[in-house]
Chains A and B, each alone.
Chain A
Amino acid sequence: MNAGKWIVTLLAGIALPLVASGEALTDVDEIVERANLAAYYSGEDGRSEARMMIEDSQGRRQLRQFTVLRRNEEAGGDQHYMVFFSRPSDVRGTVFLVAKHMDRDDDRWLYLPGLDLVRRISASDKRTSFVGSHFYYEDVSGRNPALDEHRLVETTDAHYVLESTPRDPAAVEFVRYVTRVDRDTFLPVKTEYYDGQDRVYRVMEVAEVEDVQGYPTATRSLISMPLEGGSTLMEFRSIEYDVGLPEDIFSERYLRQPPTRWLQRDGG
């Protein structure tokens, strides 16, 4: 919405490869901010189809398919997300709405079509399974970087290696996490979460990156659970940025009445 900021972001985007191929950044806050922008704020808005393959520790597989709409209030700031499920049949018609805030807890709602019920999800309930997958609700819209303290521990040829510790350890299940941020694209390509015994129990890694309208975009990512077994692979397709999503899409109205025009490919 903020045109000035948008132009700055755009310029930063163009200048990015030049800086990256040159000297490495040393300011951890700048790396974190750029990684956050690269992972969650591409374009002013976006539309994408996604599917998840969930595999449990016994090797049983499940599928989820959905369409995601996103709109930024401002780059790096507040955002709206909406996730419309189409498969499997028992979650078809379910819609997840997130209003992500920088200065307070995110607001989250789940629409259950069987009851025509708009259920609100409490803020504390964010690091729990997102529709049965190994992704958490918080992974969908991204964790607010301000919730953790970040440290640049290493700069390799390809990556910045960051270590992050929670400001409120009681609110999360991890003790720390280590993220590798690609120096060229600023996409976080691997994150390892450590438990109280300093074991890696959860790993997020990007398996495929594509250039979409000039934005490097993670199109395939995997969450795996090395200790308990099981994984979820998420894949994105038909990604479009800057489709011109109106602000009012992200409201109770469109939980009940999906905005078909904006959900269709090449919609709008």
Chain B
Amino acid sequence: MRLVRARLFCGALLLCAGGGDPALAQDADAAAEDDPFAAFEEADWEDPWAEEQQGLDWTGFIETAAGARWSDVPNLDRLTLGEFRVRAETRYVAEHYSIDFKGELLWDQVVTDLDAQLRELAVSFTPARFMDVKIGRQVLTWGTGDLLFLNDLFPKDFISFFAGRDEDYLKSAADTARVSFYTDVVNLDLAWTPDFAPDDYLYGERFVFWNPALGAPAAPETPRRAAAPGDDEIALRLFRTVGPTEYAIYGYDGRWKQPLGADADGRPVFPRLRSWGASVRTPWLQGLFNVETAFYDSLDDPQGDDPRIPNSELRLLLGYEQELVRNLTGGVQLYAERISDHDRLVENAPVPARAREKWRSVATLRLTHRAWRDALTSSLFMFVSPSDEDFYLRPSISWRRDDHWSLSGGVNLFGGREEHTFFGQLEENSNGWVRLRYNY
């Protein structure tokens, strides 16, 4: 193999040095003679799209990961990530439908538990020329924000995100029926989830969060979980691309994705939520510009005077991304939340000094550098909130050695002036992590 490689390479060099016409064709032939694909099975050329091909084609990965916080916290381990994960994926394509499967077996040292997780098991089909249907466990994403979500109310796993798992795990899977209609005028996506799928929110294992009763961030001795409401949720998107510009209108009817409310006994609950929004994404200058807005209508607190239920709010996002120099891309976002009936919120708050500001603002910066033809990717994502005076930094570096091995590492750094703000409460969760993955 080594010999073949050397010869091919020299062939290429010779060609570059020489310029004559007759030499060109010969050397090109010589370079082609030793088949550089010889190391790969001829089976690779079997029709990757053939129906009911040679059995199911299984792929996936094996991954081991470790991460730890750098401060001691009562009730919690230093370990924030310690796991061994095996993923298996396949796709079955028949004439009129296809089935996708992604499953995992996970040993999690932090909660000392072996868990089988179904990330995707869904059937897709096209009942009419203008219609696609996908039913089952699946991950869904829409909207224009980069790690900021306004109209994307599909479940997110913030525990994975803060612990340093692959960014794919920020989106959790839900059991959803997605029906899409395509017309010349506009397209429509409907996603109905019969059993409300909340975020994986912080509940007291692995990470601390603000505890109003203690007046400090802490991990409760018994995990603080909310009861599942057991009703459905529906999300819709109307979208169209006109020339280079993408337009979308969104709607959602369900619940706040985290247990932001409390019942009469003080137990966490998911209050009802309805939202409407819109977005535009278009090329601008040398890059891409996006704007998105959403109004969150908190149905259980229409007057904004119930301190146990979040008030309605308006969310706004502006974003711009472009390549700064070759292989270095920069993106900035300005994001704001405006609380409705803020005066009533303060009037009714148990501790008015800790009530949210009327406006919460966040600016983000993403810098991504790619070297060695994308094999080495360095990235910094920074959330900074001028209104809350807190921040979250996510530097990471990832090396893809070859088609099988990759190694990555990074840091989640939280901080702020006060202990009860969005990122400030997470300060003691600051951690570092490494992951080693083998793709098969």
Question: B374 contacts which chain A residues (CB < 8 A)?
Answer: 128-129, 131-132
Query: What is the predominant secondary structure among interface residues of chain B facing chain A?
Result: mixed
Given B8, B21, B45, which contacts A49 in the complex, CB threshold below 8 Å? B45
Residues of B contacting A235 in the complex (Cβ-Cβ under 8 angstroms): 37
Asked if B402 is an interface residue, CB under 8 A from chain A, the answer is: yes
The distance in angstroms between the C-alpha atoms of A86 and B47, with both chains bound, is 10
Q: Tell me if A60 and B402 are in contact (CB < 8 A).
A: yes
Interface string of B32-43 (1 = CB under 8 A from A): 100011011000
> At the interface, yes or no: B64 with Cβ under 8 Å from chain A?
no
Q: Is B139 an interface residue (CB 8 A)?
A: yes
Report the contact-size class of chain B (Cβ under 8 Å from the partner): 35 or more
Question: For residue B168, which residue of chain A has the nearest CB?
Answer: A114
Q: A116-B141, A260-B49 are in contact. Are A207 and B28 (CB under 8 A)?
A: yes
Do A129 and B47 contact each other (CB < 8 Å), given the known contacts A63-B403, A115-B168, A231-B12?
no
Is B212 an interface position by the 8 A CB rule? no
B61 in the interface, Cβ–Cβ < 8 Å?
yes
Q: Are A203's CB and B15's CB within 8 A?
A: yes
A123 at the interface (CB under 8 A from B): yes
Tell which of A25-33, A140-148, A222-230 binds the partner: A222-230
Judge if A195 is at the interface, Cβ distance under 8 Å.
Answer: no
| Complex interface: chain A residues within 8 A of B124 (CB) | 257
Nearest-CB residue, chain A, relative to B331: A122
Which of chain B's residues have a CB closer than 8 A to the CB of A54? 373
B75, CB-defined interface residue at 8 Å: no
Bound-state CA distance A180–B25 (Å) is 12
Q: Contacting chain B: which of A5-13, A34-42, A153-161? A: A153-161
CB distance from A4 to the nearest CB of B (A): 25
Beta-carbon contact of A122 and B329 below 8 Å: yes
Is A87's CB under 8 angstroms from B44's CB? yes
Q: Decide: B373 and A129 in contact? CB cutoff 8 A.
A: yes
Interface contact B47-A265, CB-CB below 8 Å: yes
B49/A67 in contact, CB under 8 A: yes
The verdict on A264 contacting B51 (CB below 8 Å), with A116-B141, A122-B321, A231-B8 known, is: yes
Q: Complex formed: what's the CA distance from A54 to B40 in Å?
A: 13
Given A122-B283, A207-B29, A233-B36, also A226-B13 (CB < 8 A): yes
Interface readout for A196-216 with B: 1 if CB under 8 Å, 0 if not?
000010010111100000000
Does B16 contact A203, Cβ atoms closer than 8 Å? yes
Quick check: B28 and A90 within 8 Å, CB to CB?
no
In the assembled complex, B132 has its CB within 8 A of some CB on chain A: yes
Whole-angstrom distance from the CB of B326 to the nearest CB of chain A? 6
Kindly state whether residue B180 has any CB partner on chain A within 8 Å: yes
Binary per-residue interface labels of chain B (1-31) against chain A in the complex, 1 for a CB within 8 Å, 0 otherwise: 0100100110011011000010010001101
Residues of A within 8 A of B15 (CB): 190, 203, 205, 224
Whether A264 lies near B375 (C-beta < 8 A) is no
Q: At the interface, yes or no: A62 with Cβ under 8 Å from chain B?
A: yes
Binding site for B on A (CB under 8 A): 49, 51, 53-56, 59-63, 65, 67, 86-90, 92, 99, 104-105, 107, 114-118, 120, 122-125, 127-129, 131-134, 156-159, 173, 180, 189-190, 192, 200, 203, 205-208, 220, 222, 224, 226, 229-231, 233, 235, 237-238, 248, 251-253, 256-258, 260, 263-265, 267
Which residues of B pack against A, CB within 8 Å?
Answer: 2, 5, 8-9, 12-13, 15-16, 21, 24, 28-29, 31-32, 36-37, 39-40, 44-45, 47-51, 59-61, 89, 93, 98, 124, 126, 132, 134, 138-141, 166-168, 170-171, 180, 182, 187, 239, 241, 244, 246, 281, 283, 286-288, 321-323, 326-327, 329, 370, 372-375, 400-404, 406, 439-440
7 nearest A-B residue pairs (beta carbon): A89-B59, A224-B12, A114-B168, A86-B48, A129-B373, A263-B49, A88-B403
